[in-house]
Amino acid sequence: MTTLRLIAGPARRARPAAYSDCFEIGGNTMPQVSLTVNGKQHTVTVEARTLLVELLREKLGLTGTHVGCDTSQCGACVVHVDGKSVKSCTMLAVQAEGAAVTTIEGLAAADGTLHPMQEMFREHHALQCGFCTPGMVMAAVDLVRMHPAGITEKQVREGLEGNLCRCTGYHNIVKAIVAAWPLIHGKPNPAAAG
């Protein structure tokens, strides 16, 4: 069986120019990935084709990150990689070499206190079956981060383009995210009325 070997070190932050930049073909060992997940360092042996979400769910047992589709459409698998939201089904595990990953399990404080986004999702009934929720919350946290000057409902709706929810009709998700903005930024949302 042909195996692929990850070339140590480079090219994590910049998208690899070509597949061959990442791998040497014909090596004997399964790739290893070293990464930090929710503040904890892990070194994991994976297949070259293993997706980040598979590493999280199957190797690390972090089943809070969900898989809802096979075409990168639903966003149930969104995690943060170095602080930015990423669909973890769309990234190979080996691409996360050296990265700091945060999953839904790592969002609340160590004592269990929910992140303001989680708290606002509960307060505004922004979840029903809970399956899209981890990806929705992680995407929402990054969305609010990306709008430091304030956020409108319209911007939230457009910003959620990559996340599907089948239960809520989004109404309460939008409300929750707008409500979380001032809690996260520590000031009133200047765009709230917009």
Partner 1 sequence: MGYEGIGAAVRRKEDQRFLSGKGNYTDDINRPGQLYAYIKRSDRPHARIDRIDTKAAAAMPGVIAVYTGADMAADNVGGLPCGWQIHNKDGSPMAEPPHPVLAQGKVRHVGDPIAVVIAETKQQAKDAAEKLDIALTDLPAAATMAAALAPGAPEVHEGVAGNVCYDWHLGDKEAVDAAFARAHRVVKLELANNRLIPNAMEPRAAVGEFDGATGDYTLFTTSQNPHVIRLLMGAFVLHIPEAKLRVVAPDVGGGFGSKIYHYAEEAIVTWAAGKLRRPVKWTAERTESFMSDAHGRDHESVAEMAIDAEGHFLALKVSTHANMGAYLSTFAPCIPTYLYATLLAGVYKTPAIYCEVKAVFTNTVPVDAYRGAGRPEATFLLERLVDAVAFDTGIDRVEIRRRNFIPKDAFPYQTPVALQYDSGDYFATLDGALKEADWAGFEARRAAAKARGKLRGIGVSTYLEACGIAPSAVVGSLGARAGLYEVGTVRVHPTGSVTVLTGAHSHGQGHETTLAQLVVEQLGVPLSQVEIVHGDTAKIPFGMGTYGSRSLAVGGTAMVKAMDKIIAKGKRIAAHLMEASVDDIEFKNGTFSVAGTDKSKSLGEIALTAYVPHNYPIEELEPGLEETAFYDPKNFTFPGGCHVCEVEIDPETGVTEVVNFVAVDDVGRVINPMIVEGQVQGGVAQGIGQALLENAVYDSAGQLLSGSMMDYTMPRADNLPNIKVGTEITLCTHNPLGVKGCGEVGAIGSPPAVINAILDALKEWKVRHMNMPATSEKVWSIINGRA
How do the residues of the chain divide into helix, strand and coil, expressed in percent and rounded to 5? Answer: 30, 20, 50
The whole-angstrom separation of Cα 121 and Cα 143 is 14
- What are residue 9's phi and psi, to 5 degrees? 90, -80
77 alpha carbon, distance to own chain's centre: 6
Nearer Cβ to partner 1, position 29 or 98?
Answer: 29
23 strand-pairing partners: 6
Binds partner 1 (CB under 8 A): choice among 148, 171, 188, 194: 171
Residues 41-80 that bind partner 1 (CB under 8 A): 47, 49, 57, 62-71, 73-74, 76
Rounded least distance, CB 84 to partner 1, Å? 19
Nearer Cβ to partner 1, position 16 or 68?
Answer: 68
Residues 119-138 that bind partner 1 (CB under 8 A): 121-123, 125, 127-134, 137
Q: What Å distances lie between residue 138 and 19, 44, 68, 167, CA to CA?
A: 28, 24, 15, 18
Q: What Å distances lie between residue 171 and 101, 127, 192, 194, CA to CA?
A: 29, 10, 15, 16
Residues 75-104 that bind partner 1 (CB under 8 A): 76, 103-104
Rounded least distance, CB 112 to partner 1, Å? 8
Interaction site with partner 1 (CB under 8 A): 1, 47, 49, 57, 62-71, 73-74, 76, 103-105, 107-108, 112, 114, 118, 121-123, 125, 127-134, 137, 153, 156-158, 160-161, 163-174
